[in-house]
A and B are shown apart, each in its own frame.
Chain A
Amino acid sequence: MKVKGRNVLLTIMTLCLSLLFLFTVQPTHHTVYAADDSLQKIKDRGKIVMATSPDYPPYEFQVSKNGKSRIVGMDVDIMKQVAKDLGVKLEIKSMSYDSVLVAVETGKADVAMSGINPTAKRRQSVDFSEIYYNGGQSFLINKTDVGKYKNKAALAHKKIGAQTGTLQYNLAKSKIPGATVKGMDKNTDLVLALKTHKIDALGIETPSAEAYVKNDHDLAMIKSGYKLNKNETGSAMAFKKGSGTLAAAVNKSIDKIKAKHLTTQYLADAGKYMKVNTNNTSMFHYWTYFAKGIEYTLIISAISVVLGVLLGTILALMRFSRSKILKAISVAYVEFVRGTPLMVQVMFVYFGIGIIVNLPALLSGIIAVSLNSGAYVEEIIRGGINSVDKGQTEASASLGLAKGDTMRFVVLPQALKNIWPALGNEFVSLIKESSIVSIIGVTDLIYQLNIVRADTYRGVMPVFVAMIIYFVITFILTRVLNYAEGRMKHAR
């Protein structure tokens, strides 16, 4: 037992050390790397992987055709052309905007393309292609304010909204005197904030502003009037540092696209798709989106509940084992997992562990949520085991039953009954908290909800629908748990 425990500790320590090694060594490793095989690798593989956040029409967004949704938009069309020029297939990975650059840095994707502005700060961590499109900067305002805010100067000392981490955010902060800049993750939320007068104007790329104005008659737009460096205001594709050969090949394609003025056509096509999306913005029309969201939310929750309970049980048994090492591992694990946010854990599993093993987003999400839930379940089970009368263990021992059998047949069944309400609580919160996996692009309910909001230009209704769906799921689960609790009543 002791030797085994030491082995486990050794394995964990080795793993931690190698992880640390990978993280610290990686950057230098790449700058020193002589042969740049970024292009060759894609050609050998026969496909190029693009990371994008498809909630930004007309650059990238989702359309549903015959119940199947796909990602379209100008960026997608450009990337298709690039893939064609390279002679490879295109695979699109969708995720939250916050994650697309991390995805190329960690090798989850070859190229990030999501209307990204190549700011100087970003250039420190990734390589950029040439600017492929320069949409310019605008402000969205409420139509009722058209007379009030005629230009940038009128926005001084006002509340300006912008997507967190974007050029628009930084510009509003540095170039509008006295402005309060409010950052949010999604333009859909910002538009809602604008319409409810929580902000006075919204800094946004001109093509997006145009799309909103076209689809929402309460909104108007004004030119930003920023004097800007052309290299920073357009959109470019991002690559992992040291992808010179890939960038060169992609730039060649971009030059061709620019020369043929293909983007005009791409934007027109995107406009057509957007019309399809906004033709019918009733929530019923988008039911397939929600259905898919429910499916993934349920898959993640169901598997994570099972794995979480399994892990929690093992951790609880380790906690009660005589081996000090096993006990210490269990305590340390629980403390650590409970002391870090689930969101960070999800990103760590997907991007961090992704450096060693390339895990798909869904699997990463399930792993992270299970690992997280296991820690909480351990605490619940530990409490349950402690709640079982000591006389039960003694009676079992006096009959000659082994420790394992005592746990399995006597203590755990009684503990389970005592902890059932707490466990049910954990299941319900797991379903809700699993929504965090949307940041790495798992198409769960929250992710789908944001897609619907982006597609329909309706800010509130999809949120309301998702709220009802979550409630129905958890309500049904609670009924099932209560029924099971009733069936266990006879025990004592």
Chain B
Amino acid sequence: MQDKPLVEVKKLKKSYGDTEVLKEINGTVMPGQVICVIGPSGAGKSTFLRCLNMLETPTAGQVLFEGKDTQKFSEEELTTLRERMGMVFQSFNLFPNLTVLENLKLAPIRVKKMSDKDAEEKALALLKRVGLDEKANVYPSSLSGGQAQRVAIARALAMDPECLLFDEPTSALDPEMVGEVLAVMKELAEDGMTMVVVTHEMGFAREVANEVWFMADGYLLEKNKPDEIFSNPQNARTKDFISKIINS
């Protein structure tokens, strides 16, 4: 692991009107790290994740990307940030008007100015990697949830990001499809991709994460190695949450 952090979060706050969703978050993501963010719903996990690539603008505090304040980014720097930090959404958000292949090609061609041929080669290779190369020319509406999410991951990978953000990637899936998506994510982690994953899949967190962050009520209450946090939680809220999950 390198020494310089990829992302640093300092005293991050976010509110919508009078509702304070994030009260104070501090944290560091090192290159190659896989961080799983867990916690009860309403904790602010998704909002936190969306502050990292500036889909949400923080109300106070800082998000530093390679030491630079993302709130001071120009339109151009923001594009670069998002190129390097891909995102996978709970509801996939594939573009229904484009085929699977076109979904993968669009950003490399428009943003990276890649040639159509190169983009296509790359897209097909990525589809093969997630096991969906035979679906290249279908429209997203004909895919199952699990397939759609794997395509969404491939689409994010098409931009060669250094870091991937996952916002509850398996929450909208039927149970039998969760496995195929997690398998792809696990493979990515093994290949050394930096990942921040908001998830309810405790098995995945325990097995794949380097660090688990527990969030509740807009605070980042505890961060630790997965084994520690699951077997020996320090914070009372963490204890309560973990016991509920294990007993359910």
List residues of chain A with CB under 8 Å of any chain B CB.
389, 391-392, 394-402, 405, 409-410, 413-414, 417, 490-492
10 smallest beta-carbon distances between A and B, as pairs: A395-B93, A398-B87, A399-B107, A492-B96, A400-B83, A391-B93, A400-B82, A413-B97, A491-B97, A400-B111
Choice from A389, A398, A409, A490 contacting B139 with Cβ under 8 Å = A490
Is A398 a contact of B96 with CB atoms below 8 Å? no
Is B55 a contact of A394 with CB atoms below 8 Å? yes
Known interface pairs A400-B79, A400-B107, A402-B79. Does A394 touch B159 (Cβ–Cβ under 8 Å)?
Answer: no
Show 24 A/B contacts (Cβ-Cβ < 8 Å), sorted by A. Answer: A392-B93, A394-B55, A395-B95, A395-B152, A397-B55, A398-B55, A399-B106, A399-B155, A400-B82, A400-B107, A400-B111, A400-B159, A402-B79, A405-B110, A405-B111, A409-B106, A410-B97, A410-B106, A413-B97, A414-B97, A490-B141, A491-B139, A492-B96, A492-B141
Q: Is B37 an interface residue (CB 8 A)?
A: no
Interface residues on B, range: 20 to 34
With most chain B CB atoms within 10 A of its CB, the pick from A391, A392, A399, A490 is: A399
Is B107 a contact of A491 with CB atoms below 8 Å? no
Tell me, in angstroms, the Cα distance from A310 to B162 when the chains sit together. 41
Choice from A391, A402, A405, A492 contacting B89 with Cβ under 8 Å = A391
Instruction: Output the least CB separation between B155 and chain A (Å).
Output: 7
Q: Which residues of A contact B32 (CB under 8 A)?
A: none
Choice from B91, B94, B110, B152 contacting A401 with Cβ under 8 Å = B110
Tell me, in angstroms, the Cα distance from A384 to B90 when the chains sit together. 24
Q: Which residues of A contact B83 (CB under 8 A)?
A: 399-400
Q: Which residues of A contact B86 (CB under 8 A)?
A: 398-399
Q: Which residues of A contact B53 (CB under 8 A)?
A: 398
Interface mask (B144-155 → A, CB under 8 Å = 1, otherwise 0): 000000001001
Q: Which residues of A contact B95 (CB under 8 A)?
A: 392, 395-396, 409-410, 414
Q: Which residues of B contact A491 (CB under 8 A)?
A: 96-97, 139, 141
Q: Is B156 an interface residue (CB 8 A)?
A: yes
Q: Is B80 an interface residue (CB 8 A)?
A: yes
Q: Which residues of B contact A402 (CB under 8 A)?
A: 75, 79, 110-111
Tell me, in angstroms, the Cα distance from A414 to B97 when the chains sit together. 6
With most chain B CB atoms within 10 A of its CB, the pick from A389, A392, A396, A398 is: A398
Q: Which residues of A contact B82 (CB under 8 A)?
A: 397-400
Q: Which residues of B contact A417 (CB under 8 A)?
A: 97
Tell me, in angstroms, the Cα distance from A169 to B86 when the chains sit together. 77
